[in-house]
């Protein structure tokens, strides 16, 4: 054991006890040595005291150990201080231990490492995580090869979820040790989503790993790719890995990485990203993909690079173009080209729908039919041939292909009719009297130019035995070398069966042509969309102005109806109130007729008061209430008419706005339930009205007091009854009783006061829905206008935002065209493939 190891493990004392009796305790041995050393003229006790401290430490007599280590004054002094700090740490005197650790100054790497590790443990014990983290990172830099340092560091970083530090450690140790274990740990972190470093951080480690184990390199690249794919740094990762692969030519058969490249490229040209971003990344990405392409992706990689070069040749190296052409010639297509082409169509359709771009319905229908491989479409030019074919289907279905669908287009419309482009086969029936005329030749040649993939066969139904089928066949094949000429349907049907799935491959070519046609239409739509946006903004502005004006008009209308309807109600009230003030005094005065000479003048005022109230109550119930109830119904009818006029006006607005909007978006329906509520309230209020009795004759006005006093005083004198009778009558006849009439009127109308106050609120409720509808529509149109303005501004300032996705769709389409063309010529195609550029 080396000296440093013995100092670390506190077994330095064994250098003194190895030759001693193994039975004797080390403390006794060291004690005897200490005693002997003391007897010397110049004793050297430091080493023995150091060893004694170790023995006491192991005996857990930490105070004795500290005592022994305090006076070490030789080269072991730094270790003695460190051991003293260890003892204080065991005694949980953390502050003393920390101060002592930090006071030690030494050049020993091992001792500094041990001190740092002990401080780490101390801080960890006190949950001082920041200081513990600092110590751990320091010791990893100071002495990473020290036993267990990196193991402890990894465990600590992982426990603290400090994945950035954990990744740092793994990268640094992978580079330092060249151990696969650390590279594999990086893969583990990447899989778990713990990578936060920028992509370029790993390049040096990846370069080193390439020289160690290519299989592990691919695994780490795949795991890092998966991690960065979910982050905002994905494109940065693509740039870094492209440079890494393009700068290094690896002699290795990649297995997983080519598929990731294919997926990345297809995602890039999906229309999701701006074309400027794609232009920055795609050339290097395609170059890297070509360089690592596997047998299953080489065909797609080559076609993709050639497609990009067709549209953006300035970004592609000629060397890579030549390499892609050669690779395309030598590779087999393992892609589902038809399925991918249909997928491209769906993506274009979804993009157009998302941007509210109108697409030609006939083209969409045609592509939709082409996308269904369950049907083969046969183009006929002769209705009688169709009839005979359908008879055969009816009579002998099993003998005929189940998937054949008939397309009939008169031959004079073949050049323009979209159904012509749908045909997988063409059976052209010739006129028996003049077969294959010049006009027929021109029509068919024109169609063949338009649809080179369309296979044309000919049917000749001749009644004349002189007709030479061979001569006709030679004449036709001079123009259409692969065409067949039949004289019976069975031969043609048999030829259809012999073609097997050849028609499906040709369907792909036509499908791609239709997708190109669709893209051309969409590009033309850019101008149309811009014009429509301008029109929409102007229309929105116009509608907004009219809506806001209508809201103001409606507010005025509501105020007008409130005024008119409430005034009508108050007119009834004022009329009845006037009737009260006119009639009630008369009723009161007429009660004087009950005063007779033989009346009891002591209580006549009470009798009069009761009679007056009785007659008033009878008047209200029998006269006022019927009139008031009838007046309320008339008022409700009047209000209904006013409401209906308002609704008519609002309905006209509704129709006008919906006509402007070209859809039924606005519904201005008022709440006629208000009228039902009024009818119910009117019935309830007029069914019974309670009027409290008025103290008409019991009021203590001076004249009444005098009148009542006279009655009490003179009532006992019979001879004065006539005088009293006349006095009472004169009093009643001469009083105005207006105060009483007003009081009764007030009491009567008090019961209708809440109803009157609620009239304006109810009218507001009647118009509430139209008001809310108009206000809501203002907000909706305003939002639409702002959206259209934003889209227009974007289209004007950044036309690539519209054109860019279409260009990327075109790149993808061009890729499929290359693949389709290469598939047509199979392995016999020349190395240099060229597709005419548009």
Q: Which pLDDT score is estimated for 638?
A: 93
- Burial classification of residue 754, based on how many CB atoms lie within 10 Å of its CB (0-12 exposed, 13-18 middle, 19 or more buried): exposed
**What is the spatial distance between Cα 254 and Cα 246, in angstroms, rounded to a whole number?**
14
**Of 652 and 373, which is predicted with more confidence?**
652
Q: Which pLDDT score is estimated for 774?
A: 92
19-23, 279-283, 542-546, 730-734: range with lowest mean pLDDT? 19-23
Q: Are 627 and 576 in contact (CB under 8 A)?
A: yes
The answer to whether residue 678 scores a pLDDT higher than 80 is yes
**What is the spatial distance between Cα 96 and Cα 36, in angstroms, rounded to a whole number?**
34
**Of 600 and 229, which is predicted with more confidence?**
229
Can you list the alpha helix ranges (DSSP code H) found in 298-379? 298-311, 318-330, 337-354, 361-370
The set of residues, in sequence order, having a beta carbon less than 8 Å from that of 171 and lying 6+ positions away, is 182, 186, 201, 202, 205
Q: Which pLDDT score is estimated for 713?
A: 47
Q: Are 459 and 429 in contact (CB under 8 A)?
A: yes
Q: Which pLDDT score is estimated for 822?
A: 86
Length of the chain, please? 838
Q: List, for residues 162-198, the tens digit of each pLDDT value.
A: 999 999 999 999 999 999 999 999 999 999 999 999 9
The set of residues, in sequence order, having a beta carbon less than 8 Å from that of 832 and lying 6+ positions away, is 325
pLDDT band of residue 321 (cuts 50, 70, 90) is: very high
The answer to whether residue 409 scores a pLDDT higher than 60 is yes
Question: Which of 6-15, 240-249, 360-369, 503-512: highest mean pLDDT?
Answer: 240-249
DSSP one-letter string for 147-207: TTHHHHHHHHHHHTT-HHHHHHHHHHHHHHH--HHHHHHHHHHHHTT---S-GGGGHHHHH
Whether the pTM exceeds 0.75: the reply is no
Q: Which pLDDT score is estimated for 462?
A: 58
- Burial classification of residue 829, based on how many CB atoms lie within 10 Å of its CB (0-12 exposed, 13-18 middle, 19 or more buried): middle
Average pLDDT on 407-422 reads: 78
Q: Which pLDDT score is estimated for 168?
A: 96
The answer to whether residue 258 scores a pLDDT higher than 90 is yes
**What is the spatial distance between Cα 301 and Cα 327, in angstroms, rounded to a whole number?**
9
**What is the spatial distance between Cα 457 and Cα 241, in angstroms, rounded to a whole number?**
54
Q: List, for residues 751-769, the tens digit of each pLDDT value.
A: 787 888 889 999 999 999 9
pLDDT band of residue 836 (cuts 50, 70, 90) is: very low
Domains of the chain: 375-500 (3.40.50.2300), 553-774 (no CATH)
**What is the spatial distance between Cα 68 and Cα 56, in angstroms, rounded to a whole number?**
9
DSSP one-letter string for 210-263: HTT-HHHHHHHHHHHHHHHTTSTTHHHHHHHHHHHHHHS------SSHHHHHHH
DSSP one-letter string for 710-745: HHHHHTT-GGGHHHHHHHHHHHHHH---HHHHHHHH
Burial string for 601-623 (b: 16+ CB within 10 Å, else e) reads beebbeebbebbbeebeebbeee
Q: Which pLDDT score is estimated for 1?
A: 56
- Of the candidates 33, 8, 5, which has an alpha carbon nearest to the alpha carbon of residue 18? 33
- Of the candidates 399, 420, 374, which has an alpha carbon nearest to the alpha carbon of residue 489? 399
| Residue 30, token pair as written in the block | 């060291």
Q: From the centroid of its chain, how far is CA 318? A: 43
Q: Which pLDDT score is estimated for 833?
A: 38
- What phi and psi values does residue 529 have, to the nearest 5 degrees? -60, -45
Burial string for 547-584 (b: 16+ CB within 10 Å, else e) reads beebbeebeebbeebbeebbebbeebbeebbebbbebb
**What is the spatial distance between Cα 46 and Cα 34, in angstroms, rounded to a whole number?**
10
Q: What percent of the chain has pLDDT over 70?
A: 91
**What is the spatial distance between Cα 411 and Cα 443, in angstroms, rounded to a whole number?**
7
The set of residues, in sequence order, having a beta carbon less than 8 Å from that of 15 and lying 6+ positions away, is 6, 51
Q: Tell me, what DSSP letter sits at residue 592? A: G
The answer to whether residue 717 scores a pLDDT higher than 50 is no
The answer to whether residue 642 scores a pLDDT higher than 90 is yes
Q: List, for residues 776-786, the tens digit of each pLDDT value.
A: 999 999 999 98
The answer to whether residue 399 scores a pLDDT higher than 60 is no
Q: List, for residues 36-91, the tens digit of each pLDDT value.
A: 877 887 888 888 899 989 899 999 999 999 999 998 989 999 999 999 999 999 99
Q: Which pLDDT score is estimated for 828?
A: 44
**What is the spatial distance between Cα 515 and Cα 210, in angstroms, rounded to a whole number?**
44
* Most distant CA atoms of the chain, gap in Å: 166
Q: Which pLDDT score is estimated for 732?
A: 79
Burial string for 28-58 (b: 16+ CB within 10 Å, else e) reads ebbeebbeeeeeeeeeebbbbbbbbbbbbbe
The answer to whether residue 396 scores a pLDDT higher than 70 is no
The CA-based dihedral angle spanning residues 827, 828, 831, 837, taken in that order and rounded to the nearest 10 degrees: -100
**What is the spatial distance between Cα 407 and Cα 387, in angstroms, rounded to a whole number?**
12
Q: List, for residues 438-457, the tens digit of each pLDDT value.
A: 888 888 888 888 888 888 88
- What phi and psi values does residue 240 have, to the nearest 5 degrees? -70, -45
273-287, 487-501, 559-573: range with lowest mean pLDDT? 487-501
DSSP one-letter string for 670-721: --THHHHHHHHHHHHHHH----PPP-SSS---HHHHHHHHHHHHHTT-GGGH
The set of residues, in sequence order, having a beta carbon less than 8 Å from that of 81 and lying 6+ positions away, is 69, 100, 103, 104
DSSP helix/strand/coil, 338: helix
If one counts every other C-beta atom within 10 angstroms of the C-beta of residue 666, the result is 22
Average pLDDT on 449-469 reads: 73
C-alpha triplet 478, 480, 484: angle, nearest 5°: 105
DSSP helix/strand/coil, 378: strand
99-108, 140-149, 428-437: range with lowest mean pLDDT? 428-437
**What is the spatial distance between Cα 100 and Cα 258, in angstroms, rounded to a whole number?**
59
**Of 525 and 702, which is predicted with more confidence?**
525
Q: Tell me, what DSSP letter sits at residue 428? A: E
Q: List, for residues 192-218, the tens digit of each pLDDT value.
A: 999 999 999 999 999 999 999 999 999
Strands, E assignment, 409-540:
425-430, 455-460, 485-486
176-180, 456-460, 521-525, 722-726: range with lowest mean pLDDT? 722-726
Q: Which pLDDT score is estimated for 22?
A: 64
- Burial classification of residue 637, based on how many CB atoms lie within 10 Å of its CB (0-12 exposed, 13-18 middle, 19 or more buried): exposed
pLDDT band of residue 242 (cuts 50, 70, 90) is: very high
Q: From the centroid of its chain, how far is CA 742? A: 70
| Residue 644, token pair as written in the block | 């209906």
């Amino acid at each position: 054991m080396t000296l440093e190891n013995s100092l670390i493990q506190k077994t330095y004392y064994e250098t003194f006890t190895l030759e001693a009796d193994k039975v004797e305790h080390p403390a006794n041995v060291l004690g005897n040595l200490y005693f002997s050393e003391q007897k010397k003229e110049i004793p050297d006790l430091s080493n023995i005291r150091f060893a004694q401290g170790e023995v006491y430490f192991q005996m857990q007599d930490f105070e004795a150990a500290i005592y022994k280590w305090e006076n070490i004054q030789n080269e072991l002094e730094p270790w003695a201080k460190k051991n003293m700090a260890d003892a204080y740490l065991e005694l949980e005197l953390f502050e003393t231990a920390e101060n002592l650790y930090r006071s030690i100054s030494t050049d020993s790497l091992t001792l500094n490492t041990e001190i740092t590790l002990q401080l780490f443990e101390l801080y960890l014990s006190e949950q001082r995580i920041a200081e513990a983290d600092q110590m751990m990172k320091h010791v990893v830099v100071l002495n990473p090869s020290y036993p267990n340092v990196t193991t402890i560091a990894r465990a600590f970083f992982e426990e603290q979820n400090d994945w950035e530090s954990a990744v740092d450690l793994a990268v640094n140790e992978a580079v330092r040790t060249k151990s696969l274990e650390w590279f594999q740990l990086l893969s583990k972190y990447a899989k778990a989503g713990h990578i936060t470093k920028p992509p370029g951080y790993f390049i040096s480690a990846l370069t080193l790993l390439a020289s160690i184990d290519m299989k592990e390199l691919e695994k780490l690249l795949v795991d890092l790719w998966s991690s960065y794919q979910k982050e905002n740094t994905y494109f940065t990762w693509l740039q870094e890995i492209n440079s890494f692969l393009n700068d290094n030519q690896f002699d290795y058969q990649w297995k997983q990485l080519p598929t990731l490249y294919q997926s990345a490229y297809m995602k890039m040209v999906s229309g999701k990203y701006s074309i400027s971003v794609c232009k920055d990344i795609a050339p290097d990405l395609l170059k890297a993909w070509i360089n690592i392409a596997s047998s299953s992706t080489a065909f797609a990689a080559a076609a993709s690079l050639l497609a990009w070069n067709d549209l953006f040749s300035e970004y592609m190296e000629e060397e890579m173009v030549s390499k892609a052409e050669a690779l395309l010639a030598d590779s087999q297509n393992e892609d589902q080209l038809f399925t991918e082409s249909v997928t491209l169509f769906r993506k274009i359709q979804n993009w157009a729908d998302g941007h509210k771009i109108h697409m030609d319905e006939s083209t969409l229908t045609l592509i939709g039919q082409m996308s269904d491989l369950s049907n083969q479409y046969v183009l006929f030019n002769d209705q009688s041939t169709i009839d005979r074919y359908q008879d055969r289907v009816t009579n002998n279905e099993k003998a005929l292909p189940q998937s054949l669908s008939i397309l009939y287009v008169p031959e004079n419309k073949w050049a323009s009719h979209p159904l012509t482009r749908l045909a997988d086969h063409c059976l052209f029936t010739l006129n028996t009297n003049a077969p294959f005329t010049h006009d027929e030749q021109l029509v068919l040649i024109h169609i063949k130019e338009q649809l080179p993939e369309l296979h044309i066969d000919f049917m000749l139904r001749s009644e004349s035995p002189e007709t030479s089928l061979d001569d006709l066949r030679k004449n036709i094949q001079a123009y259409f070398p692969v065409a067949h000429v039949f004289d019976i349907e069975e031969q043609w049907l048999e030829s259809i069966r012999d073609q097997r799935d050849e028609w499906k491959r040709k369907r792909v070519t036509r499908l791609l042509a239709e997708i190109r046609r669709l893209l051309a239409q969409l590009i033309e739509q850019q101008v149309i969309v811009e014009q429509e946006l301008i029109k929409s903004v102007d229309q929105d502005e116009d509608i907004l102005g009219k809506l806001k004006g209508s809201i103001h008009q409606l507010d005025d209308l509501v105020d007008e109806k409130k005024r008119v309807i409430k005034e009508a109600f108050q007119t009834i009230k004022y009329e009845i109130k006037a009737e009260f003030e006119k009639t009630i005094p008369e009723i009161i005065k007429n009660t004087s007729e009950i005063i007779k000479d033989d009346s009891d003048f002591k209580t006549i005022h009470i009798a009069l008061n009761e009679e007056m109230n009785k007659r008033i109550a009878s008047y209200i119930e029998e006269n006022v209430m019927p009139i008031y109830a009838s007046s309320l119904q008339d008022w409700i009818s009047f209000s209904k008419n006013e409401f209906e006029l308002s609704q008519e006006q609002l309905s006209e607005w509704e129709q006008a706005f919906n006509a402007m909007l070209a859809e039924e978006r606005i519904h201005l329906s008022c709440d006629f339930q208000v009228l039902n509520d009024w009818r119910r309230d009117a019935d309830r209020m007029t069914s019974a009205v309670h009027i409290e009795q008025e103290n008409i004759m019991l009021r203590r006005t001076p004249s009444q007091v005098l009148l009542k006093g006279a009655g009490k005083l003179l009532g006992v004198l019979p001879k004065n009854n006539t005088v009293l009778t006349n006095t009472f009558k004169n009093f009643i006849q001469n009083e105005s009783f207006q105060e009483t009439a007003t009081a009764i009127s007030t009491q009567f109308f008090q019961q209708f006061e809440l109803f009157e106050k609620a009239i304006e609120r109810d009218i507001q409720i009647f118009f509430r829905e139209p008001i809310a509808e108009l206000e809501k529509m203002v907000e909706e149109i305003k939002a639409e206008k702002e959206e259209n303005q934003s889209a227009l501004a974007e289209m004007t300032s950044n036309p690539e935002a519209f054109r860019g996705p279409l260009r990327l769709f075109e790149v993808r389409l061009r890729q499929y065209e290359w693949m389709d063309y290469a598939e047509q010529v199979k392995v016999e195609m020349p190395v240099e493939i060229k597709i005419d550029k548009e």
